[in-house]
Amino acid sequence: MVITNHNMNLGQVAERAGRAGNLLRGLFVFAGVVLCLAAFGLWLVPANLSGPDAIPIRAALTFLFIGVGFLLFRMGRQDGREELAIDFNAGRLLYMERGADGIARLRGSFDLAELDSLDAKGNRLIAHAHGGEVLRVALAGNIPDAACNRIAECFGAARA
């Protein structure tokens, strides 16, 4: 997750994956599909290997292959990166998800004037509106003090 104000980088949680990341995600999806198909292929073995003592082993291997296959498939499909942008000119807090295609999709938008409080201390950003918490974001590192001061100034100006 990247928190930006146009050119001001406030904090970062995840990096965008490059070509190696795209290749790795594709490999995870492929391996997951192969494992799921192999799980069902275990039951296509000739009848002389399907004694009563082999059925529990096949069932256990089937569940293991399906579980690991779906895990790998999900790991390969999770390509969205979250971003938090603060537009000081418009007085808006934008919560977005950027896909592997680079297009940002808006997940939420908050008007700074409508927020009761905006806590940007340490490595967290919490926004409260009328009736409760609307956004809680944990970052990999601390938000710089200059960015916290700018958020406080803008929030105060939006409240006035």
Between 91 and 47, residue with greater pLDDT? 91
Q: What long-range pairs does 98-105 form, CB within 8 A, spacing at least 24?
A: 98/16, 100/17, 100/22, 100/25
Residue 14 to residue 106: CA distance in whole angstroms: 18
- What are 41-83's pLDDT values in tens digits? 888 877 666 678 888 888 899 999 999 999 999 888 876 677 7
Token pair for 28: 């995870």
Beta carbons within 8 Å of 105's beta carbon, 6+ residues apart: 96, 97, 98, 99
The mean pLDDT of the chain is: 74
Cα–Cα distance measured from residue 129 to residue 112, given in angstroms and rounded to the nearest whole number: 9
Overall average pLDDT of the 4-11 stretch? 42
